[in-house]
Each structure stands twice: as C-alpha cells, then as structure tokens.
Amino acid sequence: MEELNKKILLVEDDPNFGTVLKDYLMMNDYDVVHAKNGMEGFEKFKKDDFDLCILDVMMPYKDGFTLAKEIREKNKDVPIVFLTAKAMKEDVLKGYKVGADDYLNKPFDSEVLLMKIKAIMQRKATETISDSKQFEFKIGSFDLNSKLRFLRYKGGEPVKLSPKENELLRLLALHENDLMPRQLALTKIWRDDNYFTSRSMDVYIAKLRKYLKLDEKVEILNIHGEGFRLVVNN
Amino acid sequence: MEELNKKILLVEDDPNFGTVLKDYLMMNDYDVVHAKNGMEGFEKFKKDDFDLCILDVMMPYKDGFTLAKEIREKNKDVPIVFLTAKAMKEDVLKGYKVGADDYLNKPFDSEVLLMKIKAIMQRKATETISDSKQFEFKIGSFDLNSKLRFLRYKGGEPVKLSPKENELLRLLALHENDLMPRQLALTKIWRDDNYFTSRSMDVYIAKLRKYLKLDEKVEILNIHGEGFRLVVNN
DNA sequence: CTAGCTTTTAACCTTACATTAACAAAAATG
DNA sequence: CATTTTTGTTAATGTAAGGTTAAAAGCTAG
C-alpha cells in the first residue's frame, strides 16, 4: 500500500491553532510538518521537499514574509499560502509581492482552505515540466528517462521501470560514481526509515542490478553500512 | 504609442458599484466591458475575446455560476473571478467547481483586486502559450481536427468524435510522445478529480485506443500512476 | 415526450507494484 | 572463528490502478 501524499510545511506559532490545523490536514491525506516559528520553519524546509507551504504572517523573531523570501531563494516554484489574523491591505500586497499563491484571513473555513490547496496543487500540476534535462541520464550504454520511467540499452527496446525502481536509479545516477547514502534514498523515496523499508530498498537494488547486467561496465556496489554506489567503468 | 491592453469582462448588476469598479480598472490600463446582467454578459462574451471575466454571483435572472458554466462551455481557459457579498462556504466551493480562479468577498480592497488580476494573468501567460490555439494535429496516419471534432485515417471518411473524446485526444496530441499526466486531463477536461472522473477517463482512453487501432504505429501507453503517453513509432 | 447521442457508473478482470518473508551469503565484531 | 549484523536474491502476498464492456443516467434536438 503505497501512499504518495502531498507534503505540506505548516509554520504557525499558535500551538493550539497549529495543531488543530495540522490534524485537519492530515485527516485529509496530507503529510504535514509543523514548525512553531520562522527559524524552525526554514530549517525544516531545507531538510525536505514540500509541495506547499502554509505560513502564518505574524510570528515572533521571523515573520511569514521574511520566511517566504528565504524559501523563495531556495525554491522559486513551491506554492506559498499566507495566513493572517487581520486583513491589512499592505500585508496582502506584500504577500503577493513575495510570490504568494493565496491568502487567507483568520478565521477561515477549513473546507475553503482545503479547496484552495487543491486548486493550487492542480495549477502546479498543470504547469508543464519542460526542463527535461533533470530527467534524462546516460548510464554507460543505458539511457534513463526518469520522467517517462524507462531504461533503454543501446537504443533498443526500452524497459519500463516501476516508480520505486525509477526513483532509486535516478538517485543513484545523480550520485554517479559517488556514494548514495541509504538514508538519503529512504527519506527521499520511502519517506520513512525502518527495518522494512530498508529491506524493501535492498529488493529494489537487486532488481536494478538485474536490469543493469546488460552492460558489464555498469554496476551497483554496496558500501557496507553506508549505502550504494553506481559505478561506470571504462 | 499603441497599447494593447488586457480585456476584462465585468458582469455586475449594481450600477453604482459596477461603474466605479469599471472606471477603476480602466484607470489601471485595462479595457473593460461592463454588462449589467447575466444575459448581457454572455452576449458580450460571445462577441469578443476576453483575458479575464469578473462575475458577480448574485444577479437577477442569471446568476454568476450559471453564466460561468456557459462561459466555460465556450472557453475552457479564460480566467474567472467571482465577486460575492456574503462569504458562503457553499458558494465558494461551487465557484471552484466551475473552475474559478479566484474569489473576492465584497467589500474588497481595489488594490487587492488589481493584485489578484495581475497574478492570474501572469499565471495564464506562462501556462497557456503553447496550448492555446492549436486545433489540428497529425498523429501517424491520422488527422485530428479538434475544432470540427473529427478524426480521419489516411484521408478516408472522417470519424466524428464526442466532445470528451476530442478533448482528450487533443490533450494527448499536444503532449505527443511525452507524458500527459492524469491530473492534467482531469482538471482541464473534467474540472474535477475523483475516483469516478478518473474511471470515466479510462473509459475514454479505451474508446480512443479503438479508433487508433487502424494505425498500428500509433498507441496510447499507460505510465502507471502518472498518466498516458501517445506514441507514434516509425 | 422521445430517439439518439454522450457521459457516467458499475462490474469484472488483468496487470503492475510494493511489501514482506525466507533463506543465503558477506562483512563486521570481538 | 563463532556470532551478529548487514546485504543479496527470489518468491509469495495483498492491494491499487488500469482495461474493457455493458448498463444506467443525462442531454438535447426534434
């Protein structure tokens, strides 16, 4: 049972409200990471890939706008929604300047928030990903197309990859000849790190090795206790 | 210096408010056509190409939602913003279902409206450049005329396509050889995304495959969990 | 109102996937 | 070198997604 829920970063200093909102979102099948202030929010943002950020504007130390700016520096695309208690015009305008996708005045209806989240996600999904470079890799005599999820050997018939196979091989390719730490794959792909996910990953390594056998110059080496290494000899 | 301003259709039955809003928008370099009710709004919409529609929800005879639906039938892409006096949850949800781009509660700040308009226009600008005006496609030995809704094999007798068949095939053709995400079709064509619409789409995929069987070089491949891919082999 | 088309829903079946189990082999540990 | 830990690999299992056809429900023009 594979769950690929959308991940939301919620930064809200009011613990009550924050917890309630978090629970509500999680009840609606979102993975939510809750940060209690701007600093923490930015730390958590850097550590993970989020599909959406919900930021409270009024927070001590680092307000939502400042945080948004920092987030924008790291990621120009992630949607940002602001929450604010007062409907100050200047705030709204400031928010849009920073690249907000939407704006909600507290108190707001939770269903409306859900709807907006959905709308925003759909919008993002619509924006066609044209930079194919990120998704194409040469691995020895193989071509990996990570968007279309296939692996082709010397221009022959492409083999279809499952989502997990694909992401794992992509991650290995991104670290070609270098160590790809277990942890990394587990957190990025499996979003969890326990005995079973780890074993699951080993199973996928075995599958990938089978595919890659066609080119004896390509292999996946294990670095005991550390992770794996995709090497291309020549 | 000849400017080609963005064109806005404003449908608002309150003459005072409507006029004020119209003037304000025109002061900000938009061309505004003001209709006093739903009927008139639709007439004017048909007569011209607009970049944005601003619709009051509460209008006699024909409310904003009904009008929006009619507009959507003619044009699936034009952004729609609703204005409403009361912030009724049901209304907001209904609005998003019809494909609203945004929602404003009266009284609202005019600068905020401007900001939203700008944001929406920008979004559409990046989104719909390539998609917009393409209605004829060659798909292997087929010709698809998406305006007249027919599909012809090797210059033979054209087959008529239903609206949904047509839009789906068009969307696939726009992404020929590339991934056409499920989400995209569901939001663009069905404007909703749930189990049933998804299944409905699968039914249409089956129908299209039947049509396309005539040319064995053309096929619709599934990418599990992602979407479909119209490929033309040679 | 209904004939004829379109779309959705239902049903049933197949395929694709991810996880878990089971057992074997390496590597580390001490 | 015996034992524990980690990894390699294959197979079994359960579930979700997709393929397909048919029936039901919606529409719309006469």
Q: Do A101 and A15 fall within a single domain?
A: yes
- Among candidate residues B127, B152, B169, the one where a domain is terminated: B127
Residue A68 CA and nucleotide C7 C1' are separated, in Å, by 44
CATH number, domain containing residue A190? 1.10.10.10
For residue A125, give the nearest of B89, B116, B184 by CB distance. Answer: B184
Give residue numbers, 199 to 218 of A, with CB < 7 Å from strand C.
Answer: 199-200, 203-204
Verify whether the Cβ–Cβ distance B179 to A148 is below 8 Å: yes
Instruction: Tally A–B CB contacts below 8 A.
Output: 55
Is B61 inside any structural domain? yes
A23 with A59, same domain: the answer is yes
Beta bridge partners of A144: A137, A151
| B118-150 residue pLDDT tens | 888 887 776 655 555 688 999 999 999 999 999
Cα separation, A171 vs A174, in Å, equals 5
**Nearest-CA residue to the C1' of D9?**
A206
Inter-chain CB proximity B89 and A109 less than 8 Å: yes
Domain tally for chain A?
2
Residue A92 touches chain B, beta carbons under 8 Å: yes
Nearest nucleotide, CA A197 to C1': C19
Span B44-78, pLDDT tens digits = 998 888 999 999 988 877 788 888 888 887 777 78
Q: How far is A62 from B135, CA to CA, in rounded Å? A: 50
Q: Which residue of B has its CA nearest to A105?
A: B105
pLDDT in tens, B177-229: 999 999 999 999 998 889 999 999 999 999 999 999 999 999 999 999 999 99
Distance B86 CA to C5 C1' (A): 40
Amino acid at A105: N
A22 and A116 inside one domain: yes
The Cα–Cα gap between A219 and A212 comes to: 7
Domain of residue A181, residue span = 132-232
Q: Where are the beta strands (DSSP E) in chain B?
A: 6-11, 30-35, 52-56, 80-84, 102-105, 136-139, 142-145, 150-153, 159-160, 179-181, 218-223, 227-232
CATH code (residue B40): 3.40.50.2300
For the segment 80-139 of chain A, residues whose CB is within 7 A of strand C: none
Query: What number is the average pLDDT over the span A4-20?
Result: 91
- Final residue in a domain of this structure, among B108, B127, B146: B127
Q: If you measure CA to C1', which residue is closest to nucleotide C28?
A: A224
- In percent, the amount of chain B with pLDDT more than 90 equals 55
Rounded to whole angstroms, the distance from the CA of residue B162 to the C1' of nucleotide C4 is 13
